[in-house]
């Protein structure tokens, strides 16, 4: 520890003791500075007692391997994300885009200007309250998870000593339980009937093979085998551009091809021949090196389902807001759309075209067909392991969690088994 205000002077000739003389810094800065500890930056204090206390604390934490210089946490959350956290992110471009949007829209506007050191329990409580005014539980949970990951990285980077997202007294809301709901055969057929002929096969593939919507849109003629469907890719949007990408979780799979589905696919291709579509693989960005150029090289596939004008691939959003919603209306699943605002006649007396919007249908999207496929398979006593494989789940436990309530007569079989067991023991 050094005294920055005074330094050793000449020895007093009378007392024979060393004297102290003022330095140029006298009265211009904090007087006492702790320095010379390996791996620890210098720190100044006004009082000698404070300096000695901090020095002892640092030395003890160094011995335990727990020392974190809190001054590293003085940068703002926005700075840390931009300079330290985000540049090291790698992985699927679509996932990265989702995370980036979440950070920019639901984290930085609320906490971005706070220093890392300042993000503690009170600030996090307010953050959750602010989100609760605008978003539902699922969105809040996703945002909280991303924020916690960022703060945990700051702990690992020794910017801050603790991630307060892990505190016991502050928690995001619980995610409401929403059970997967299968459609009746009548509803499936009614919705199919309401679609344009070129899109009817999408319903067949969703309910007959359990394919996700992106997998249907990325399915090629070559993916349809004699008795199986090879799920090799999906069509997805990355930075507003369409790309081919592996199925969810990067898992390709095979799904049984029922006779009726093979017949429906054959009928579709006879009327609507597959269209060759060329798109980047995984990432639409310009490659920066030979490795990226090879990994993102465009691929060409003869797609079974394309846009209505047959000029290119079909965007999921276009289908969902147009043909799908109209089919839901025709099947009586949702009411007809209403004008968004009153129609004001034009100066010439004519009325403008209605600007309408369909009702939201979160439980009646394309994924309901996949739920129906799972329901039919489980009702037929197919094993959970097999159904999980066909659905492309990473683990059968996921299938059980989503579809356990669809397994038929589970309670009845259990009661019968126990009755038989007790009868045998009596």
Q: What domains does the chain contain, in order, with CATH numbers?
A: 2-67 (no CATH), 73-166 (1.10.150.130)
Phi and psi (nearest 5°) for 181?
A: -120, 120
Could you give the CA distance from residue 133 to residue 137 in angstroms, rounded to a whole number? 11
* Pairwise pLDDT comparison (80 vs 24), residue with the higher score: 80
For residue 44, the model assigns a pLDDT of 82
Please work out, in degrees rounded to the nearest 5, the angle formed at the alpha carbon of residue 173 by the alpha carbons of 168 and 176: 135
- pLDDT-wise least confident of 18-22, 134-138, 187-191, 273-277: 18-22
Average pLDDT score, the chain: 88
- pLDDT-wise least confident of 41-45, 248-252, 334-338: 41-45
- pTM over 0.85, yes/no: no
- pLDDT-wise least confident of 26-35, 93-102, 130-139, 391-400: 26-35
For residue 426, the model assigns a pLDDT of 47
Q: How many CA atoms within 13 Å lie on the side-chain side of 287?
A: 13
For residue 332, how far is the Cα from the chain centroid?
Answer: 32
Q: Which residues of 363-387 are buried (b: 16+ CB within 10 A; e: fewer)?
A: ebebebbbbbbbbbbbeeeeebeeb
């Amino acid at each position: 520890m050094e005294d920055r205000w005074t330094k050793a002077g000449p020895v007093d000739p009378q007392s024979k003791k060393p004297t102290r003389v003022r330095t140029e810094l006298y009265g211009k800065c904090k007087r006492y500075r702790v320095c010379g500890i390996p791996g620890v930056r210098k720190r100044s204090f006004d009082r000698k007692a404070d300096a000695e206390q901090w020095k002892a604390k640092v030395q003890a934490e160094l011995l335990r391997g727990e020392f974190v210089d809190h001054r590293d946490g003085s940068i703002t959350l926005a700075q840390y994300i931009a300079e330290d956290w985000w540049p090291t992110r790698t992985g699927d471009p679509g996932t990265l885009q989702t995370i980036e949007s979440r950070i920019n829209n639901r984290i930085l506007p609320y906490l971005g200007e706070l220093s890392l050191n300042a993000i503690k329990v009170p600030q996090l409580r307010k953050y959750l309250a602010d989100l609760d005014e605008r978003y539902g539980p699922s969105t809040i949970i996703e945002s909280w998870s991303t924020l916690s990951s960022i703060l945990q990285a700051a702990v690992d980077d020794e910017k801050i000593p603790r991630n307060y997202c892990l505190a016991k007294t502050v928690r995001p809301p619980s995610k409401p339980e929403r059970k997967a709901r299968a459609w009746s055969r009548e509803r499936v057929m009614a919705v199919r009937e309401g679609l344009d002929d070129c899109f009817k096969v999408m319903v067949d593939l969703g309910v007959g093979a359990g394919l996700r919507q992106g997998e249907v849109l990325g399915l090629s003629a070559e993916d349809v085998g004699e008795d199986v469907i090879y799920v090799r890719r999906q069509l997805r949007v990355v930075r507003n551009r369409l790309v081919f990408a592996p199925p969810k979780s990067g898992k390709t799979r095979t799904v049984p091809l029922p006779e009726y589905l093979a017949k429906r696919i054959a009928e579709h291709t006879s009327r609507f021949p597959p269209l060759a579509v060329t798109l980047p693989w995984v990432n639409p960005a310009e490659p920066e090196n030979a490795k990226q150029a090879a990994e993102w090289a465009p691929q060409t596939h003869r797609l079974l389902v394309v846009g209505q004008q047959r000029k290119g691939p079909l965007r999921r959003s276009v289908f969902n807001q147009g043909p799908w919603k109209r089919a839901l209306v025709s099947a009586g699943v949702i009411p007809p759309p209403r004008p968004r605002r009153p129609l004001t006649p034009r100066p010439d007396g004519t009325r403008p075209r209605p600007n309408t919007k369909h009702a939201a249908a979160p439980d009646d999207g394309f994924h309901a067909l996949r739920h129906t496929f799972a329901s039919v398979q489980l009702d037929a006593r197919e094993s959970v392991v097999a159904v999980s494989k066909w659905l492309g789940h990473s683990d059968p436990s996921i299938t059980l969690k989503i579809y356990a309530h669809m397994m038929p007569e589970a309670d009845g079989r259990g009661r019968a088994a126990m009755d038989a067991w007790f009868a045998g023991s009596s």
